[in-house]
Amino acid sequence: MMSRRTILGSAGAVGAAAVIGASAARAEPGEEPRPPAPPASELSPAAALALLREGNQDFLSGGVTTVLTDAQRRLELAKGQNPFAAYVTCSDSRVPPELLFGRGLGELFIIRNAGNTVDTVALGSIEYAVAVLNVPLVVVMGHESCGAVKAATEVVTDNATFPGSIGPMIEPIIPAVLQARGQEGDFLENSVRSNVRRVVKFLREASGPLLSDPQASGKLRVVGAYYDLDQGAVDFFDVPDDIQAVVQY
């Protein structure tokens, strides 16, 4: 069977089409890579969220799952990055944001640590994404069966201790676990969501002017999310009303 590359090549495709064909040759037959998102400066927070929702839908349905990684795209990005969202999530190997949202090089500015907490280093990274790169959206995402949050629940329920720097690392999660204790439903999931809510609240209200000013003017929004490992679905929650509606970008 002829590959897409061969078909495009024999048709004499040149320039961008040939580049797309070369990338698509590694994808499923007929599947073309997702085009890069518009630059951050052209996207509202709602539009950035819509892009992520759309990407996760494709991930779930087996739609467009390949992205441009060719030389032309790399050369373009070498001149400067223009990601459309900053992403705070867990280091867990099962939750890589680019894969869950079908996004490629230069599109997501990602901060990861076990338990998706925000310390000074993480906050500085988010502030850089907002103040210098002008991202319109910050997502804080927890996930099902998070080991770091589970460890924090064990501190609360069993006085568990952990070696090395693991104990201090999970300390910021403990208040979230305490808030979740006694809630109806699954204790670990409630703790993960509570941890996300606390981080979102901090970024909205207590992190300083680099994040509060653009939020006051409507240029920036912070949302929470929960990733279900079995389903592959990302549930966005704690989404401000003004960007709740799914819009086209």
* Contact residues: Zn ion, CB under 5 A: 90, 92, 146
Give the distance, in angstroms, between the CA of residue 231 and the centroid of all CA atoms in the same chain.
17
CA 190 to CA 195: how far, in whole Å?
8
Q: In this complex, which beta carbon is closest to Zn ion, that of residue 95 or of residue 130?
A: 95
Q: Report residue 120: phi and psi, to 5°.
A: -60, -40
Q: Which residues pair with 235 in a beta bridge?
A: 226
Q: How far is the CB of 123 from Zn ion (least distance, A)?
A: 19
Q: In terms of CB distance, is 73 or 143 closer to Zn ion?
A: 143
DSSP string, 11-59: TT--HHHHHHHHHHTTSSTTPPPBPPPPPGGG--HHHHHHHHHHHHHHH
CB nearer Zn ion, residue 103 or residue 143: 143
Task: Give me the least distance between CB of 132 and Zn ion, in Å please.
Answer: 28
- Smallest gap from Cβ 1 to Zn ion, in A, equals 42
**Shortest Cβ 13–Zn ion spacing (Å):** 44
Q: Report d(CA 227, CA 234) in Å as an integer.
A: 5
Closer Cβ to Zn ion, 92 or 189, answer by number: 92
Nearer to Zn ion, 76 or 154 (CB): 154
Q: 92 or 107: whose CB is closer to Zn ion?
A: 92
Closest approach, Cβ 210 to Zn ion, in A, equals 27
Give the shortest CB-191-to-Zn ion separation in angstroms.
11
Assign 172 to helix, strand or coil. Answer: helix
CA–CA distances in Å: residue 210 to residues 82, 171, 176, 204, 240: 18, 26, 25, 11, 19
For the four alpha carbons of 180, 181, 184 and 185, in that order, the dihedral sign comes to positive
- Which tokens is 216 given? 């006051």
